[in-house]
Structure 1
Amino acid sequence: MDYVLKYRLFPDGQQRERLDWVRDTVRQVYNHALHRFNRIPEDAGTVKQRVTQVRDELPELKDWWTDLNNVYSTVLQQAVEQIETNITNLAKRRDAGYDVGSLNWKAPHEYRSFTYRQTGFELDDNSGPSGRGLLTLKKVNGETLQVPIRLHRDLLDETDVKHVTIKKDRTGAWFACLNVEQAEPDKPDPAELDTKDTVGLDLGILNFIHDSDRRQLGRLNLSSDRERLEHEQRNLSRKQHGSNNWEEQRQMVAKVHKRMRNKKSDFKHKVAAFYTTEYDAVFVENLNVKGMLESGRNSRNTHEIGWRDFITILKHHGRKRGCHVVEVDPKDTTKACNECGVKTDKPLWVREHSCPSCGYTTDRDYNAALNVWERGLEKLGVVHSEDRTPAETATAVEQTHRESVSASRVVETGSPCLKEATQSVAE
């Protein structure tokens, strides 16, 4: 399996200048290649064939653009081939229903990376106690650079580094993104899975996760970071655009954004690592996040929480650790009673599930997590046995068929009409 490891680089002043020179030169090559690509008629071949035609012009381009001789050849080739990748990504977004345009030239602040493929780099990970190694890069403005790199996680001996992307973020920090390949561990046979080694996750807004083993995980609190961001953005608005003070303040805003992104990413990766390590199968709802954002209800919270991003991370950790990650149909997971299957409409403010049919009472999110768990077991083909301890349950009423119950029959815990509603159900 392929995945990316990101490490911080610590170039000195001269090395920064050389890395910036390569980055900007590669950007100009990309813009030139895009110009040449757009001039080739569409009927001259597929996108890949036209990109290959432009890439094959690089040796001739070096004859009059002599600076390109100071850049490693695969770095230039990767910049040209990036056009094909970008066009493919645009087509995918168009097919997904997004409004997309065409590729444009990149300004200096928009092009932030360049890539070595297979060769042209060497990693010395014999870092010792300091955690610092050396990343050797060839032909960086004609020189071979040895850039200090902080290896905060070890590379396994069997890891194969396929290519390295050198990236400068908006704060001015440099990173090395190593695309590595490792053998993907085998996942357990679903027929042999123990249901105790499986879990269902209900993703929410008040609580980020409520699982079928009764764990509740609150959402990440970023209120102080948002206040800091608003403060720094106000300061930025008072600076003269393009001045040195404006650029310094822009980097301050970028650092706050980066800190918030890092907190979200770290939180999601740790949660995903926990579940895929503790369980052999994790079941989660296949949420239509795009539709939720378009509906306007809780769109800010939905966007900030990032459910789809978490599911993607969860799948990545599942492949890495040999854990099944299965998405199930989210329809009526909150409405359906896990005991009898009767569907009960609930407003968002009702946090308790109280079935008017069988009397089953439990937390709203726990009931949904159990439904996700059972649907996941069915979809994966795991033999289901009742091994979850039920929550507080009233005397069950025999139910021969499933029906949908209106929200008027559901009351919030502590409501003055609770006793009246309970009597009505008992009758």
Structure 2
Amino acid sequence: MTATTVDQSGAAAPSAPPRVVAPVTWKAVIGLGVVLALFVLLLLLAPHEGSARFALSTSTDFVVLSTLVVPAMATAWTCAAVALVLVAFAVVRTRSGRRVPLWAVAVFAAALLVGFLAWAGAGSPRDISVVGLLGGAIGLSVPLIFGALGGVIGERAGVVNIAIEGQLLAGAFVAAIVASLTKSPWAGLVAAILASALVALVLALFTITYRVNQVIVGVVLNVLVIGLTSFFYSEVLVPNAERLNSTVRFPRLPIPGLESIPVIGPVLFNQTIVVYLMYLAVPAVSYALFRTKWGLRVRAVGEHPKAADTVGIDVLRTRYRAVLIGGAVVGFGGAFYTVVSINQFGREMTAGAGFIALAAVIFGKWDPLRAALAGLLFGFATNLQNVLSVVGSPVPSQFMLMLPYVVTLLAVAGLVGKSRAPAASGTPYTKE
């Protein structure tokens, strides 16, 4: 029942409905506390004496910064103290009924990361390259971010895109062949977009028109693409590697002035055109979904297709377009493997990146910007094990490789915030 108020004329007027405020839980505080406790336990049980060396620039940078040498354990404990202050801040915020701000979580993660790197690099004669760590994370996250953007578009329209892995692999395979034949990475990029969109079209045909279970269709498409690319790789590409599997890669395009900025310059502004397109794709997809009529229709059919149909929106057509556009976006990530990263196609070279991208969609709460940040986080975790192996860290590489999956499980379990998929995601629509 709607509450009423009495205006000056004496007539009853409906008052504003009460605002529903979601309860603040202690999940964030518990998560931060557990992570800090594990870090402190690591420092107590396995102390590493010595100094850690952080290289803040490379020898080719316009401004060469000196290597930062810090005492490992003192730095680690200082970072733990900073993290403890942030946990206390989170406790105060939660007790007062307010959420823990995102910046506090980011500073907490950065502090523990610096402390962990100092502990891991203690006593090593080799430098921990900050530029290499961040630059490698950008490179590894490109397919994940493009895949996550494509997944967000599809799921916002109500179609779960389990086939991101197959779309990435198909894009990489076709890009390798076309770029090898034409000696043009641009041709390979366009071919990858079309190949990925074709896989998306098959997904849309079975899930939207024939209303087959979306998860099953996605899994079958992944298996199909893996099988086809593996077969043609062995039977066609390997015997004709010089002609069909030797691409010309996109060159790096440093941005004058910006590339000279210490640390972030060579990381962000000395990249290929595909990476620069990624910088543009993230805000473009976010703007299209939340600031345009098309985006409003996509979100409408993903939340309540019956209501959207009632006001004249063609649900099936809107879903088809969203899935195809999402597939085309994923194609950029597929092309990255064979016209940017390396110059040839390898069997199953995506190595499960499509599933990590799908995890980034969930971790990012079906928001393009957050999904992109999640993809960047997963790419960073993958690259971190490479950096630690270079400095001779005692941390097993398998432990670092499992981090993206652990974070995904925490996200799905709701320990890093509540995630709610679009209401009609995964549900076929039948017009009555």
Normalised by the length of structure 2, the TM-score is: 0.22
Based on CA coordinates, which of the two structures has the bigger radius of gyration? 1
Normalised by the length of structure 1, the TM-score is: 0.22
- Higher relative contact order, structure no. (Cα contacts within 8 Å, ≥ 6 residues apart): 2
Q: Which has the higher helix share?
A: 2
Q: Which has the higher strand share?
A: 1
